[in-house]
Amino acid sequence: MNKVNGLAAKIATSIGAVILLSMITFIFTRVSGDPASLLIPSDATYEELLEMRALLGLDRSLPAQFLTFASGALKGDFGLSLRYGQPAMELVLARVPATLELAFFAALIGWAVAVPLGILSGCKPNSVWDAVARFIALFGQSMPVYWLGILLVMLFSIKLRLLPASGRGGFGHLILPGLALSLNLMGSVTRVLRASMVEILRQDYIRAARARGISQKALLFKHALKNGAVGMVTVIGLQLGSLVGGTVVTETVFAWPGLGRFIVQSIQFRDFPVVQAGVLFLAVVIALINTTTDLIYPLLDSRVRV
């Protein structure tokens, strides 16, 4: 019963966070400017502006507009894009595959480097590998994604002419944005896994297992890694959400035609329905990732409860 109550509380918290974010997004889009002024000719009269505002429903009070938006969102209707005249959620979903492609590629790079490096660093503290791991962790968490992206473009695209600077196409188009996006994940996972391994390998039960003649390989994979997995799952779950949300900056720098760049363009055009649909979609995805991460804990450690 406690597990069920804990899960229900977690789901309720996630739903509440999504609703609150939707309200904040709705308010900030409305105070950012009037989209009606962008949809009428520059020489239009004030009466024509009022007519356009009434057509878009912007002449009503803010609570009335939000109730209309909320009732439509519950039915899956986020309205029509002011720029394209198509359903907003359809436009959002059409760009999700590009964003997922970039996010999963970045995650693959980050984990492929961070997991073995973090394990090696934790097993051999104060070694050369440990120094390399700590440098990558510090560099990855301190370097802004947009600045790293610009540096990568300048080096590999402009100077060396090895990789394309922007757009989506073949595998080469994935490399630079994937590297830029994966560096923060790489640093976080390396740091957490190293710290977990150093702490666990100093525990008494590890010393006792080593004294009983258990091989280093069995000691590492059957005992140390299993107990250190909870911390790693935590940071991986958080970083997955950050990867999906962090594509906004990366896609803008590399002109990647994904959801993040589309949201930025919609903000500039004051396309309220698309912005609201896109932000709500990202919020739901991140909430699902965090909830799934919490549900994995008991599978790794029976002492952990939802």
DSSP secondary structure, 131-178, as one string: HHHHHHHHHHHHS-HHHHHHHHIIIIIIIS--S-SSS--SHHHHHHHH
The model carries a pTM of 0.79
Helices (H) then strands (E): counts for the chain: 13, 0
The HSE-up count of residue 117 (CA atoms within 13 Å, CB side) is 24
Q: For position 91, what pLDDT does the model report?
A: 93
Walk along the chain (306 residues) and give the pLDDT tens digit of each residue. 566 666 777 788 888 888 888 888 888 888 877 788 777 887 778 788 888 888 888 888 888 888 888 888 888 888 888 888 899 999 999 999 998 899 889 988 988 888 888 888 888 888 888 888 888 888 888 888 888 888 999 999 998 888 888 888 888 889 999 998 888 888 888 888 888 887 877 777 777 777 777 777 767 766 666 666 666 667 777 777 777 767 788 888 898 898 888 998 898 888 888 999 998 898 888 888 877 777 776 666 555 554
- Residue 298 pLDDT: 64
Residue ranges of domains in the chain? 2-74, 93-300
174/165 Cα distance (integer angstroms):
10
The whole-number pLDDT of residue 154 equals: 92
Which of 250, 132, 264, 242 has the alpha carbon at shortest distance from 191? 132
- 93-103 burial, b at 16+ Cβ within 10 Å, e below that, comes to eebbebbbbbb
Counting beta carbons within 10 angstroms of the beta carbon of residue 137, is it exposed (0 to 12), middle (13 to 18) or buried (19 or more)? buried
The token duo for 46 is 């004030």
Domain 93-300: which CATH number of 2.60.260.20, 1.10.3720.10, 3.60.15.10, 1.10.150.120: 1.10.3720.10
Q: What is the pLDDT of residue 227?
A: 67
> CA 32 to CA 146: how far, in whole Å?
24
Closest CA to 90 of 273, 282, 241, 253: 273
What are the Cα distances from residue 182, in Å, to 102, 160, 190, 256?
A: 10, 22, 12, 15
- Structural contact between residues 129 and 201, judged by C-beta atoms closer than 8 angstroms: no
Closest among 91, 59, 139, 94 to 275, alpha carbons compared: 91
Query: Can you tell me the distance from the alpha carbon of 177 to that of 250, in angstroms, rounded to the nearest whole number?
Result: 6
**Hey, how many other C-beta atoms are within 10 angstroms of the C-beta on 238?**
17
**52-106 tens-digit pLDDT:** 888 888 888 888 888 888 888 888 888 888 888 899 999 999 999 998 899 889 9
d(CA 286, CA 292): 10
Cβ atoms of 240 and 224 closer than 8 Å: no
Q: Could you identify the residue written with the tokens 């994935």?
A: 174
- Say how far apart CA 97 and CA 259 lie, in whole Å: 9
Q: Which residues contact 151 (CB under 8 A, 6 or more apart)?
A: none
Find out whether 249 and 236 touch, Cβ atoms under 8 Å: no
Quote the CA–CA distance of 251 and 96 in Å, as a whole number. 12
Tokens 């009983």 locate to 212
φ and ψ of 87, to 5 deg:
-55, 130
Which pairs count as long-range contacts for 129-132, CB under 8 Å and 24+ apart, including other chains? Answer: 130/194
